[in-house]
Amino acid sequence: MFLEMHNPNLFHGQLPWNKFEGWYFKICDKSGLSFAIIPGISMDKGDPHAFVQFLWGKENKFSYFRLPFESFKASKNPFTLSIGESIFSFESVTLKLRSETMKVDAELSFSDGVGWNPRATTHRSMGYYNFLPFMECYSQVCFIDMKVSGHITLDGATYFVENGKGYIEKNWGNAFSYSWIWVQSNCFKKSNISLTASIAHIPFPLGSFRGFLIGLLHDGDFYSFTTMNGAKISIKKGGQDVFIGAENKKYFLTLETSSIKENFILCKAPKGGRMIDLVQETLTANVKIRLIEKATKRIIVEDTGYNSGIEYGGEQMKILDQATK
């Protein structure tokens, strides 16, 4: 148990309060490929099973591959996860998935992975919140950026990943938050940038609060804006897009998304111990970012990410400062 709490990337399944665990792999490249693979396990007593969710951004395709509970196997050193004939690690992914509507095969290799806050002594993105046993949901940015190569075959058509970029995170606990927004991008037009932003309504003893986790990696420098480090945040939502302003002692960051409503895919997430249709997600959005140094008013970076991920769930008014039509 001690090992898992200090390394949240690992499988925690033996913990008695744990009801689900899932890892999220997102891959994109300059050719226009954008897809996500979500392996996990639902430990609901009434319907225990393993699963792999697959999202294909290019044509807004989605499939939920349900597999027997006993097909899920995980090892810790090194971390490896197998579900049926598919194998996942932080170095590679092998997919062999079959359903009535979709067939997916893939061989993907990862390299040069960068964890949350690469210069820190710990890479736990939730900090001390990882050690609080009453949290409804825990989240960990395993790798904010990495290089990806390989190929994927979807329904007989093969696509080669060229100069690909990857992102991995993990979620586990009892249920997804009552309300959340997630934005991620590491395919940018001009700069070497990786971005992740999560905002959620979080239940807590004697109340609740709006928690957030924003990390920006730019040319090796890492900038964080989080609940834990005392940063401030504002959020406005118009339609399916958001404008986020985040501020810490030294920097001010703005994020502005641009997406097409019809490109959002309905995915599953845990709620009440069950995997249900809960998440609206797109993998083909744009996100414009601007990072400013407050003391000098210097613009450190200004760029637009493409093949970006946006995800919404729950009652958005719980976490917004303002909503527009």
The average pLDDT across 127-156 equals 80
Q: Residue 57 above 80 pLDDT?
A: yes
Instruction: Give the separation between CA 130 and CA 126, rounded to whole angstroms.
Output: 6
C-beta separation of 146 from 168 below 8 A: yes
Range of weakest confidence among 8-12, 62-66, 314-318: 314-318
According to the model, what pLDDT value does residue 227 have?
A: 86
Residues 175-210: tens digit of each pLDDT: 777 688 999 999 998 889 999 999 988 666 565 668
Task: Indicate the pairing of strand 179-185 with strand 298-314.
Answer: antiparallel
Q: Answer with the residue of higher pLDDT: 304 or 77.
A: 304
According to the model, what pLDDT value does residue 36 have?
A: 98
According to the model, what pLDDT value does residue 173 have?
A: 82
Q: For residue 150, name the pLDDT band (cuts at 50, 70, 90).
A: very high
Q: Could you tell me the two tokens for 231?
A: 């940063």
Looking at the chain, the whole-number percentage of residues with pLDDT higher than 70 is 85
Instruction: Give the separation between CA 215 and CA 17, rounded to whole angstroms.
Output: 28
According to the model, what pLDDT value does residue 16 have?
A: 55
Question: Sign of torsion, CA 143 144 146 149?
Answer: positive
Of 98, 85, 91, 84, residue with least CA distance to 54: 98
Looking at the chain, the whole-number percentage of residues with pLDDT higher than 90 is 62
Give the chain's radius of gyration (CA, Å): 19
According to the model, what pLDDT value does residue 123 have?
A: 53
Residues 112-138: tens digit of each pLDDT: 999 887 665 555 555 544 555 545 678
Q: Residue 6 above 80 pLDDT?
A: no
Residues 230-285: tens digit of each pLDDT: 899 999 988 889 999 999 999 999 999 999 999 999 999 888 778 888 899 999 99
According to the model, what pLDDT value does residue 324 have?
A: 44
Question: Sign of torsion, CA 122 124 125 129?
Answer: negative
Q: Answer with the residue of higher pLDDT: 82 or 136.
A: 82
According to the model, what pLDDT value does residue 264 have?
A: 95
> Which residues sit opposite 190 in a β-bridge?
none
User: How many CB atoms lie under 10 A from the CB of residue 120?
Assistant: 11
Range 44-80 burial, b when 16+ CB lie within 10 A, else e: beeeebbbbbbbbbeeebbbebebeeeebebeeeebb
According to the model, what pLDDT value does residue 159 have?
A: 97
Q: Residue 302 above 90 pLDDT?
A: yes
Range of weakest confidence among 29-43, 263-277, 283-297: 263-277
Q: Residue 323 above 50 pLDDT?
A: no
According to the model, what pLDDT value does residue 3 have?
A: 46
Convert the chain into a string of H (helix), E (strand) and C (coil).
Answer: CHHHHHCCCCCCCCCCCCCEEEEEEEEECCCCCEEEEEEEEECCCCCCEEEEEEEECCCCEEEEEEECHHHEEEEECCEEEEECCEEEECCEEEEEEECCCCEEEEEEEEEEEECCCCCCCCCCCCHHHHHCCCCCEEEEEEEEEEEEEEEEEECCEEEEEEEEEEEEEEEEECCCCCEEEEEEECCECCCCEEEEEEEEEEEECCEEEEEEEEEEEECCEEEEEECCCCCEEEEEEECCEEEEEEECCCEEEEEEEECCHHHCEEEEEEECCEEEEEEEEEEEEEEEEEEEECCCCEEEEEEEEEEEEEEEEECHHHCCCEEEC
Q: Answer with the residue of higher pLDDT: 78 or 243.
A: 243
Q: For residue 15, name the pLDDT band (cuts at 50, 70, 90).
A: low
C-beta separation of 228 from 129 below 8 A: yes
